[in-house]
Amino acid sequence: MTVSDCWHRYFNSKLDCWLLQAKYNAALFKSVRSRRLDNGKVLLERLGAERECRDEQGRTPFIVACGHHEAFAWYLMDVAESDVAAVDNDGLTALHWAACAGWSGKNNWWQYF
């Protein structure tokens, strides 16, 4: 086996890992938007999806969860320890998304921001 063959194998394995990671991250966003906390837990805890990955608009799964599903957002904030200060491409934070989604203050979620 030549050095070129080794490099080719190494590069392809890294590329395969990167593509697999991208699929897991895309699946994480889909599970957040679909309000499937069970799927999100599997993706984060077992398959290694990145909790701070970004979509095309610069939003993290936590920012998206704040606009879609309060329980998912709580999980990402408390268990996965997502960055609550993350900002998307439009300059909006998770707090903006949570307020627009109509989160109530009964759980004192605002104290984490």
For the whole model, what pTM was predicted?
0.76
- The pLDDT value recorded for residue 30 is 92
Beta bridge partners of 45: none
Domain map (residue ranges) of the chain: 3-112
d(C-alpha 25, C-alpha 16), whole Å? 14
Instruction: State the residue for tokens 């939003």.
Output: 59
Domain 3-112: which CATH number of 2.40.50.140, 1.25.40.20, 1.20.120.530, 1.10.1060.10? 1.25.40.20
* DSSP track, 68-85: H-HHHHHHHHHTS---TT
Tens digits of residue pLDDT in 30-68: 999 999 999 999 988 888 888 888 988 999 999 999 888
